Amino acid sequence: MNLFKRIAYYFDALLDLMYPTVCISCEKKIDEHTELFCLECQHQVRMTELHESMDNEFTAHFPTFDKLISGSAMYYYIKTGRIQKALELLKYKNRPEIGTRLGQYYGNFLHASTIYADVEYIIPVPLHTKRKAQRGYNQSEVFANGLAETMKAQVRSDIIFRRKETQSQTEKNRADRIANMKAIFYCKSNLDLNHRKVLLVDDILTTGATLQSCAETLVLRYPHIKLYMATIAMGN
């Protein structure tokens, strides 16, 4: 080993000691920096592979929204499962790097797929400003940042914004939720997204109400936008 290589080697080892790569779910140390999970958790999760088909379980959540070209979730969300644990760390335990790592990882798959290969812009579903200030970051935005790295796309958090804090959504049915969210997002940007391939991203797809509301706002402003969606997880 020459001196330079030796220094690089020790520097890596030192970094690893200071900032070990840990499993995004159980937080055990892992040796392979590019992996997300330890071997044990790896066996408990499965990717959806939905990014390989245009019409799928994901797009089926949006029967009334015909502007969506395609969409995909990285994983299935199972309550009490490993993905739920990772999302809890990301959302409530100040672990934004989990979102970035998930994004970098999934971005490789999306970039290699024919459907998502040439996405130009990635737009995270915005959080209310107050919520973002409390959390310190928008979990969808850190996911978007990771995706953008490996997809060679550009994140734009300066296009769509959230107007006001939503009241508790848990009591409402799907139609009520969509109506309730109609006025929540608004566009404010000089960038023209017409005819551009845009990926709208959120952390999790449940009813699809939030994503649809956000997407409808984009389509209203940019009728010729080429719209796709991606999330970290979806219910099944």
**Between 8 and 27, how does the x/- string for binding to Zn ion read (CB under 5 A)?**
---------------x-xx-
CB of 87 to Zn ion, least distance (A): 14
| From 2-10, 31-39, 108-116, 123-131, span contacting Zn ion (CB under 5 A) | 31-39
- Give me 233's structure tokens: 């997880």
Q: Which is nearer to Zn ion, 44 or 157 (CB)?
A: 44
CB of 43 to Zn ion, least distance (A): 10
CB of 161 to Zn ion, least distance (A): 36
User: Quick check: 38 binds Zn ion (CB under 5 A)?
Assistant: yes
Q: Which is nearer to Zn ion, 22 or 219 (CB)?
A: 22
Count of residues of this chain found to bind Zn ion when the rule CB under 5 A is applied: 5
Indicate which single residue of 41, 127, 181, 230 sits in contact with Zn ion (rule: CB under 5 A). Answer: 41
User: Quick check: 199 binds Zn ion (CB under 5 A)?
Assistant: no
Give the footprint of Zn ion on this chain (CB under 5 A).
23, 25-26, 38, 41
